[in-house]
Structure 1
Amino acid sequence: MKSTLGFDEDELRRLAGPGSFERSRDYLSSVSALEISETTITATVDGTDVYEVELTGHERGLTGWCSCPYGQEGNFCKHCVAVGLTVLSRADSVPARRATAASRGRRLDAWLEARSRDELLSLVREQLADDRALRRRLELRAAVAGDDLDAVREHVLGQLDTRPFARYGSIEYADARAYGLQAAEAVSALRALVRSGRAAEAMEAAREAVTVLGRNYGEIDDSDGAVGDVAEALAEVHLDACRAARPDPAQTADWLVDHLLSDLNDVTDVTLSDYEDVLGAVGLARAYERVVPAWRAHPKGRAEKHLMEQLAKLDGGVDALIAVHAADLARSGATHLVIARELERAGRPADALEWAERGLREADPDRGPDARLVDFTCERYALADRRADVITVRRDVLRRRPSLAAYQDLRTAARAAGCWDAPQRSAALDVLRAAARPHQGLGHSGSALVDALLDDGDLDAAWEAAVDGHADSRQWLTLADRVRDRRPAEALTVYLRLITPLLALTGDATYEKLTALLLSARACHIALGTRDTFTAYTTTLRAVQRRKRKLMTLLDQHGL
């Protein structure tokens, strides 16, 4: 059942994980001071200490904050779950609680409106004396209302100052939200400047603010993304200010290129295309003058390459964009695929396929080409009814990178061409067999050979490969399950071998695996007519494992 905040038990379990979710039930009676507003739930939870909890509903889902040590590390803790479960258990009362919260707000508004000007001033001054953060916010608003740009700049940058929150040289998760709320005041002030017709002043202050926040961001644990949202808002208000102020396009291009070539853009994610209307032809030409030499000096630089891609897209010429990509081709063929897709979008399918084929040829000979490039090429071959070429590509991929997926892709292609005969299949299995390395025991990784034979339903050949040492415990278990009805004695041997190492381990997951294996072993004994032997086996097992109470409970539940 969904609550009116749009979450349910499954969402709480997903956010917290099964462990914290189950432990939260011990705290349901410890939830108090529950308050519910339109988007926020607050409460206290008595644990090792008294913890403050806040749950907030967003478009992107539910987030939780708790003052406990685990919550301060950015985790959705058991206390958050306890509060969420409490709300779900009282879902019918949520509308009334919201109405109560709204009523309290209206009473406060009415009380404030009834105060005289002097009373309100006295109240505000009283709060300013005790709340430094509030004082700074109001000082910023006062500066915006005045004509002193230096004062505005000083207060804007003051709102981005990390020092009051950096207790250990950086802003930890517990303080990041408070810092984000303070920094958001800078955005509000800059927007107010734009609305009041002082866009040029807002633009200059926003540029400096973007730079300052970009430098500070690496010192902030922004797990919730609150500070990142402020950075994006700063970039937006700068763009709005530029559109209103219409600054010199060449100077704007210089600032943008400097910013985009620095490492300060990671948090704001500004792009040249956002500023196309601000730059115009003059600004874009200036950007070309700046970016091209930088790219030629560092063609593999991430920022330089990204800028050249943006310029090429703005110019509208696919060949210019291809030249940028071609200057730094990945050995996997991934860049060839990017080029092929750009050419296909430009209506040049033949050139696109040529680049894709080139990517297949030039890919690392050991690792083989990117799987997406292979799929792209094979899809185009299939559309052109070039099925033999599809098989050739798929066979080469299997040879370079033997795997179940490569085997399946070759099998699908060969069947589509009507040539998946015994010699073709045998040759493909020989590739997997040559790549498989026999191992002793059950703990190693299995082989694609056994997986392929299982996928084909060739259980006899799969069993033979497993006996030769090509199977791990997962594959042995799958084999035993699939042959149990007709070969119960052999399957039983596998189950007993898998049970033995689990007897030395503990934990719920281990007990569940052990119980499942015992149930399978019992089915084998029943098929063999040796139920008494199984009963004697489980009697001995229970006597040895009797101290594992959870295991005993599971065995009782299944009649073992």
Structure 2
Amino acid sequence: MFGDLDLIEITDKLLLTLAGSGPFDRGYRYFMDGRVATFTSSERRTAATVSGTRMYRVELRHSESQLDGGCDCPASEGIDFCKHCVATALKLRDVQSSGTSGETRTDNAILENYLVQQDAKTLTAHLLDVLPRDPLLRERLRQQAEFAVGVTSAKRLKQAITKVTRPGNIVEHVKVVAYFRRLEATLQGISSIADRVPADVLLETALHGMQRLNRALEQIDDSGGYRDNAQYDLRTLHIQALTAIGWSPKQRAEHLLEVTLEDQWDQFSGVPHDYADALGAAGLGAFYAAVERRLDQLPSVKRTAKSENKWPHRRLIHYLMKRAEQQQDWDAMIALEKRTATTDIDFTRIASLCLRKTDPAGAAEWLTKADAIDPNNKCLRMADWAVVHAQRGEWEAAVASQEAVFKQKADYDTYRRLMEYATQAGQAAAVREASVAYLQKGNPKGWWSDENHAYTLALIFHDEHNWLALKETAVNRIKSPKRLLDAARWLADPAPGEAIHVYEQSVNAFIAEKKKRSYQTAARVLIESRPSFNAVSASAFDDCVVRLRSEHCRKPSFIAVLDAKVPFPAKRP
């Protein structure tokens, strides 16, 4: 289900942060009650329907480091992480941990055994009772029923898609969700009979669906990405048809390239790798050969060409670049980039490839060309120049170039690279002192720029175990509640006495956002900080709670959250 992707660990703490305690508790009950009715998951997305006052559709997006999502219920409106999202995330965690848990397998076996024993009339009655509460299932079964009794001609299948993809301006979230749910139901109905449909008919149907969807997207506000499941279903039908159709590898490859180049809405963003099984090894080779032929047929790019004039070349080069990068064929990648290189940005990109193959001479040549075209922005290429000098062993020059980059960005990664070069040049102490002095000076460009400087400085003090300086930097110069929380966590174990000041400031910063969710986060941070306060004194935590209640007594919403999470301290004798 999840391929080779490592998903973020879905913990109760993460879900509490996303949803808050109330939605988390209700979502947990929904999950335990088995209200997650349907559930499908891919590497990046999970879709589910959850039974509430009606059936709600949930979309989760997940990666190695992030989980978010939305629901079509009134509480979420496709944006907020509601109780239905929590229930779905808990289901995803259950699947993550054990594929399909033993308990689920047992439940399914019991249910299957029960259903097998029922007669057709009883099963029909069960379905008719459920269907009004699950419009997606109802639509899918209706489509399957129509296809079962009718002739599965291309015309009939295309009409079914056309019926649910009528053009029109749709911007309201609920209507957008409903639009794509109807389309998904139709496509799932077609998918259920796809094995019985001739390959040429299925191919024509899939292409028709893609064209209809592309046309619809010109008028629909799908900023929430609800088209993804429909695109996935259409692509699956297209792959199935292309696999089964009686074409030669060359015909398959040329067809795929043709429809890909006509696409404007990323229906084929995974080409050719999504189609590897359909194409086979011979087909993949034919695909790349077709791309190379198309590229060779295009006129050479003129030195004065604008970006839009390069687009036909860049689109074809994209496929060849992906193959070359997989093979780590830097020479091939450089040769491809040269075909459209006319600007300083193009030249810089080639220089970066030269550095990846450890060719500092080649990189210097292309960076020099870029500097000649755009002498006013040499600073943008200083990081690459620093690597050129480092690969040549010119450490003092590398330090000088990287220092220029550091004064532009003032970020931690740039500082670490600078210190690597400085160590090689024997200048580590002097460069560290100069860098810290630069960050301590502050940034007059604005509070956010100054805070970036302060955050980098805090990270440096963390590396150096300078806990007092870290605390002073955080409380005096950092305003972001999340960055303050980072600093507090760095201090919690080694220096709880310093950590409590930063924790309290982080709590106050969350409260200052004046949102229900930020109040909940503030309470959770306060609870998290208790061990640090307790390490200082038995009364420190209670004293902090009293201060917060006094300072924010005019914020009843926060006080209500605090009452629920942190009881009022008992009076001490």
TM-score of Structure 1 vs Structure 2, range by shorter chain: 0.5 to 0.7
SS at match of 1:244: coil
Per-residue deviation at 1:326?
Answer: 1.6
Deviations 1:51-108 (CA, angstroms, capped at 9, x unpaired): 33688999999999977334663765314545887998xx885444211221244336
Please say which structure displays the higher CA radius of gyration: 1
Cα distance in 2 for residues equivalent to 1:525 and 1:283 = 71
Partner of 2:266: 266
Unaligned stretches of 5+ residues in structure 2: 1-6, 41-47, 95-100, 122-137, 276-282, 325-330
Match of 2:176 among 172, 175, 183: 172
Residue 437 in structure 1 maps to residue 476 in structure 2: no
Cα distance in 1 for residues equivalent to 2:520 and 2:35 = 37
Deviations 1:338-395 (CA, angstroms, capped at 9, x unpaired): 54368x3xx967535644676688778569437xx93x76566545533233223212
Match of 1:240 among 236, 240, 243: 243
TM value normalised by structure 2? 0.60
Q: Which stretch of structure 1 is more off in the superposition, 492-501 or 284-293?
A: 492-501
Partner of 1:118: none
Amino acid paired to 1:309: I
Change over 3 Å in CA distance of 1:304–1:525 after alignment to 2: same
Q: Which stretch of structure 1 is more off in the superposition, 239-248 or 263-272?
A: 239-248
Per-residue deviation at 1:426?
Answer: 4.8
Match of 1:413 among 412, 417, 421: 421
Per-residue deviation at 1:309?
Answer: 0.8
Q: Which stretch of structure 1 is more off in the superposition, 504-513 or 210-219?
A: 504-513
Cα distance in 1 for residues equivalent to 2:70 and 2:526 = 38
Partner of 2:336: 321
Deviations 1:178-210 (CA, angstroms, capped at 9, x unpaired): 422312445676765555xxx4x6555544443
SS at match of 2:427: coil
Match of 2:83 among 78, 81, 88: 78
Cα distance in 2 for residues equivalent to 1:133 and 1:360 = 60
Partner of 2:19: 19
Residue 51 in structure 1 maps to residue 83 in structure 2: no
Partner of 1:340: 354
Cα distance in 2 for residues equivalent to 1:508 and 1:43 = 25
Deviations 1:251-275 (CA, angstroms, capped at 9, x unpaired): x57x945x44545351232647966
**Contact preservation (8 Å) 1:176, 1:227:** yes
SS at match of 2:213: helix
Match of 2:394 among 386, 397, 416: 386
Match of 1:471 among 449, 474, 477: 477
SS at match of 1:266: coil
Amino acid paired to 1:445: E
Change over 3 Å in CA distance of 1:44–1:366 after alignment to 2: same
Residue 225 in structure 1 maps to residue 228 in structure 2: yes
SS at match of 1:445: helix
Cα distance in 2 for residues equivalent to 1:191 and 1:296 = 52
SS at match of 2:23: helix
SS at match of 2:247: helix
Match of 2:155 among 119, 144, 153: 153
Partner of 2:73: 68
Overall identity of the aligned pairs, in %: 15
Change over 3 Å in CA distance of 1:286–1:83 after alignment to 2: closer
**Contact preservation (8 Å) 1:136, 1:159:** no
Cα distance in 2 for residues equivalent to 1:203 and 1:535 = 69
SS at match of 2:428: coil
**Contact preservation (8 Å) 2:500, 2:529:** no
**Contact preservation (8 Å) 2:58, 2:69:** yes
Change over 3 Å in CA distance of 1:337–1:281 after alignment to 2: closer
SS at match of 1:556: coil
Which residues in structure 2 correspond to 1:354-365 (within 5 Å)? 354-355=365-366
Amino acid paired to 2:267: V
Which residues in structure 2 correspond to 1:432-511 (within 5 Å)? 432=439, 436-437=443-444, 445=451, 447-448=453-454, 451=458, 454=461, 471-472=477-478, 507-510=519-522
Per-residue deviation at 1:278?
Answer: 5.3
Change over 3 Å in CA distance of 1:306–1:404 after alignment to 2: same
Cα distance in 2 for residues equivalent to 1:323 and 1:267 = 28
Q: Which stretch of structure 1 is more off in the superposition, 288-297 or 228-237?
A: 288-297
Q: How many residues are treated as equivalent by the alignment?
A: 497
**Contact preservation (8 Å) 2:70, 2:78:** no
Change over 3 Å in CA distance of 1:504–1:550 after alignment to 2: same
Per-residue deviation at 1:427?
Answer: 4.4
Per-residue deviation at 1:227?
Answer: 0.8
TM value normalised by structure 1? 0.61
SS at match of 1:172: helix
Cα distance in 2 for residues equivalent to 1:446 and 1:290 = 47
Cα distance in 2 for residues equivalent to 1:286 and 1:443 = 47
Cα distance in 2 for residues equivalent to 1:282 and 1:234 = 23
SS at match of 1:369: helix
Match of 2:380 among 360, 366, 369: 369
**Contact preservation (8 Å) 2:70, 2:85:** yes
Match of 1:97 among 107, 123, 127: 107
SS at match of 2:317: helix
Partner of 2:569: 556
Q: Which stretch of structure 1 is more off in the superposition, 7-16 or 393-402?
A: 7-16
Change over 3 Å in CA distance of 1:388–1:85 after alignment to 2: closer
Partner of 1:126: none
Amino acid paired to 2:342: A
**Contact preservation (8 Å) 2:139, 2:186:** no
SS at match of 1:411: helix
Cα distance in 1 for residues equivalent to 2:530 and 2:249 = 77
Amino acid paired to 1:322: E
SS at match of 1:437: coil
Cα distance in 2 for residues equivalent to 1:434 and 1:282 = 58
Amino acid paired to 1:216: A
